[in-house]
Amino acid sequence: MGVRLWFCMCLFALCVPLVSSLSSKVLYSANNAIMEFDLDTRTVTKLLEPGSNRVFAMDYDYKHRFIYFPRYDTNDIVRFAYPSSNRTLQTVVQTDPFPSGIAVDSTNEHIYWVVPAGTNTLSRCNLDGSNLTLLTTLSVPYVVRLDVTNRWMYIVKAYIGVMKLRFDIAEQQMLVNITTSAIIHCMDIDTDESRVYWFEGNGELISAKDDGSDIKTIISTNTGGNNFGLRVSGSYLYYAGNKQLLMVNKTPVSTPTVLYNDTSRIESIFVFNQSGM
Ligand SMILES: *[C@@H]1O[C@H](CO)[C@@H](O)[C@H](O)[C@H]1NC(C)=O
Ligand SMILES: *[C@@H]1O[C@H](CO)[C@@H](O)[C@H](O)[C@H]1NC(C)=O
Ligand SMILES: *[C@@H]1O[C@H](CO)[C@@H](O)[C@H](O)[C@H]1NC(C)=O
Ligand SMILES: *[C@@H]1O[C@H](CO)[C@@H](O)[C@H](O)[C@H]1NC(C)=O
Ligand SMILES: *[C@@H]1O[C@H](CO)[C@@H](O)[C@H](O)[C@H]1NC(C)=O
């Protein structure tokens, strides 16, 4: 009896961490909801209502385990514990009107965000919202991603192109220039392979080396103007094509897989991959 009980407890202790450490989820925002898609079970759960119809980016603090996102309609950045059953939203910092992009630097305990209308700013504060610092102004900065190791920030200027700039703003470089009609709403970086990915307004998913060379089309879609989320994880790209959540191999030219059909346009995604942290 004693031995059997010990065996069961041991099995329980081994199995639970193994299962949860391998689970991968895609979080997305659509129609005043933050949703969680489980890549193993292919099921969707509504996590919370963000209190803003517009959430154009999410990012994660891997150290303290919080999802951060800007609320376009209410001019602030909020966070919630994840994974956790406590989904209380906490306001981190007030922003200028219409914040769109966010990136978390867990290593240095900072968040960065961009405001693509009005003030056109790139700002930073500590993870708790303290020490708000205006870093610079840029033309229509819409997306921000960070390469913390190599100290580059990658920024989408919505109607202009993709640029990178140093954390201290001293050095800037345009990686690609686009035509005004080809507005970009999403971009991600792949630090493993030193590449950058983005969707152009015509629905093409493009990849380039992180110096702007070797431009390749990964796929051409018919969802031009409605590609609002893109994330690299492992060998895949996860993205939003209007109301669909999809994945495609990073290597051109592959066939995308539809993961989920939502009833509203998906406006940001985040891939939570515990084995890829
Ligand atoms: C739930 O989360 C909120 C915000 O992160 C925190 O202030 C609160 O203490 C948490 N509640 C519990 C019961 O852990
Ligand atoms: C606040 O930000 C300034 C400017 O970037 C920096 O020099 C300073 O160390 C920061 N202070 C704290 C307490 O984070
Ligand atoms: C993009 O345009 C800027 C400003 O006109 C120019 O300096 C830069 O060389 C261009 N970059 C590329 C990659 O075409
Ligand atoms: C999504 O909808 C398309 C039709 O628009 C259908 O072919 C596909 O099977 C659906 N996929 C999922 C995962 O529901
Ligand atoms: C998670 O990350 C690991 C390691 O980078 C990778 O092999 C795996 O494919 C990723 N999983 C997903 C679902 O992206």
The number of distinct structural domains making up the chain is 1
Residue 15 in this model has a pLDDT that exceeds 90: no
Atom 5, ligand 3: which residue's CA is nearest?
A: 177
The Cα 126–Cα 64 span in angstroms is: 13
Does residue 88's CB lie within 6 angstroms of at least one atom of ligand 1? yes
Residue 9 in this model has a pLDDT that exceeds 60: no
Spatial CA neighbour of 143 closest among 129, 161, 130, 127: 161
The Cα 91–Cα 129 span in angstroms is: 9
Per mean pLDDT, which range of 4-18, 31-45, 162-176, 240-254 is the poorest?
Answer: 4-18
Spatial CA neighbour of 250 closest among 215, 213, 205, 212: 205
**Residue 178 C-alpha to ligand 3 middle, in angstroms?**
10
Q: How many other CB atoms are there within 10 angstroms of residue 277's CB atom? A: 10
Whether the CB-CB separation of 218 and 207 falls below 8 Å is answered with yes
**Residue 116 C-alpha to ligand 2 middle, in angstroms?**
24
The sheet that has 44-48: what strands, in order across it?
44-48, 34-38, 24-30, 266-273
Atom of ligand 3 minimally distant from the CA of 161: 1
Instruction: Say which DSSP state 276 is in.
Output: G
Does residue 263's CB lie within 6 angstroms of at least one atom of ligand 4? no
Residue 73 in this model has a pLDDT that exceeds 80: yes
User: Averaged over 55-69, what is the pLDDT?
Assistant: 98
Residue 268 in this model has a pLDDT that exceeds 80: yes
The Cα 156–Cα 176 span in angstroms is: 10
- The reported pLDDT for the residue numbered 74 is 97
* pLDDT tens-place string over residues 77-110: 999 999 999 999 999 999 999 999 999 999 999 9
Residue 211 in this model has a pLDDT that exceeds 70: yes
Atom of ligand 1 minimally distant from the CA of 86: 1
Counting ligand 1 atoms within 8 A of each CB, the residue from 88, 91, 128 with the most, and so the one to mutate, is 88
Confidence label for 182 from pLDDT (cuts 50, 70 and 90): confident
Residue 42 located in a structural domain: yes
Residue 8 located in a structural domain: no
Residue 13 located in a structural domain: no
Q: What percent of the chain has pLDDT over 70?
A: 91
CA 211 from centroid of its chain's CA atoms: 21
Distances (CA, A) of 273 to 73, 75, 132, 166, 239: 29, 29, 30, 27, 15
Residue 3 located in a structural domain: no
Residue 157, domain CATH: 2.120.10.30
Identify the domain containing residue 127 by its residue range: 25-272
Residue 2 located in a structural domain: no
Residue 150 located in a structural domain: yes
Counting ligand 5 atoms within 8 A of each CB, the residue from 25, 40, 233 with the most, and so the one to mutate, is 233
Identify the sign of the CA torsion 14, 15, 16, 17.
positive
